[in-house]
Amino acid sequence: MLKFMRKKTVSVWKKDSRTLIAHGVLDDDIYGIELDVSVNIEDLRISAIEGKWNRWTTPECPRAIPELQRAVGFLIAEPDFSQKAHKVIGRKACRHFANLLLECSHSLREAALLGEWEDRKAAGEEARLGDITAEKAAPPPPPQSPPSAPRAAPVESAACPDEERGIDDKSRVLSADSPGLVIDLHVHTSPASPCSSVPVAEVIEEAKRIGLDGICLTDHNYVWTAPEVAALREEHGFLVLRGNEITTDQGDMLVFGLEEDIKGIIRLEELRKKVLQAGAFVIVAHPFRGFLTFGVGQLGLTPEKAMERSLFQHVDAVEVMNGKVTAKENQFAAEVASGLDLPVTGGSDAHEVSEVGVYATRFYETIRDEKDLIRALRGGNYVPLAYRKEKGF
Partner 1 sequence: MANILTYSRNRCTCVEQVDENTLRATCTLQDTLTDAFVEILVGLPDLEIVDVRCEVKRTEQEPCKDPALSLAKVIGVRIGSGMLKIIKGLVAETTECKQLGFMVEECCHGVILSFTKDVLLVSSPRPTDQEEAREFYGKMVKENIRLYNRCAAFAPGSDLVRGVDPPK
| Interacting residues with Fe ion (CB under 5 A) | 245, 349
Question: Least distance to Fe ion from the beta carbon of 158, Å?
Answer: 21
Question: Least distance to Fe ion from the beta carbon of 348, Å?
Answer: 9
Question: Least distance to partner 1 from the beta carbon of 93, Å?
Answer: 5
DSSP state, residue 352: S
What is the spatial distance between Cα 381 and Cα 229, in angstroms, rounded to a whole number?
25
Q: Closest CB to partner 1 among 14 and 52?
A: 14
* Partner interacting with residue 64 (select from partner 1, Fe ion, none; CB below 5-8 Å by kind): partner 1
Q: Closest CB to Fe ion among 329 and 349?
A: 349
What is the spatial distance between Cα 297 and Cα 299, in angstroms, rounded to a whole number?
5
Q: How far apart are the first and last CA of the chain?
A: 51
Radius of gyration of the chain from its Cα atoms, rounded to whole angstroms: 25
* Partner interacting with residue 130 (select from partner 1, Fe ion, none; CB below 5-8 Å by kind): partner 1
Question: Least distance to Fe ion from the beta carbon of 327, Å?
Answer: 18
Q: Closest CB to partner 1 among 305 and 378?
A: 305
Question: Least distance to partner 1 from the beta carbon of 357, Å?
Answer: 10
Closest residue by beta carbon to Fe ion: 349
* Partner interacting with residue 30 (select from partner 1, Fe ion, none; CB below 5-8 Å by kind): partner 1
Q: Closest CB to Fe ion among 103 and 184?
A: 184
What is the spatial distance between Cα 309 and Cα 136, in angstroms, rounded to a whole number?
43
Q: Closest CB to partner 1 among 175 and 298?
A: 298
Cβ burial 241-268 (10 Å sphere, 16+ → b, else e): bbbbbbbbebebbbbbbbebebeeebeb
Q: Closest CB to partner 1 among 226 and 333?
A: 333
Closest by Cα among 47, 51, 20 to 36: 51
Give the list of residues 6+ apart from residue 120 with CB closer than 8 angstroms, or none.
127, 132
Three-class SS string for 153-176? Answer: CCCCCCCCCHHHHCCCHHHHECCC
* Partner interacting with residue 349 (select from Fe ion, partner 1, none; CB below 5-8 Å by kind): Fe ion
* Partner interacting with residue 94 (select from partner 1, Fe ion, none; CB below 5-8 Å by kind): partner 1
Q: Which residues pair with 184 in a beta bridge?
A: 215
* Partner interacting with residue 392 (select from Fe ion, partner 1, none; CB below 5-8 Å by kind): none
Chain centroid to CA 347: 15
* Partner interacting with residue 388 (select from Fe ion, partner 1, none; CB below 5-8 Å by kind): partner 1
Question: Least distance to partner 1 from the beta carbon of 196, Å?
Answer: 15
Is there a contact between 360 and 212 (Cβ–Cβ < 8 Å)? Answer: yes
Q: Closest CB to partner 1 among 122 and 176?
A: 122
Instruction: Give the chain's length.
Output: 393
Residue type at 173? V
Question: Least distance to partner 1 from the beta carbon of 62, Å?
Answer: 8
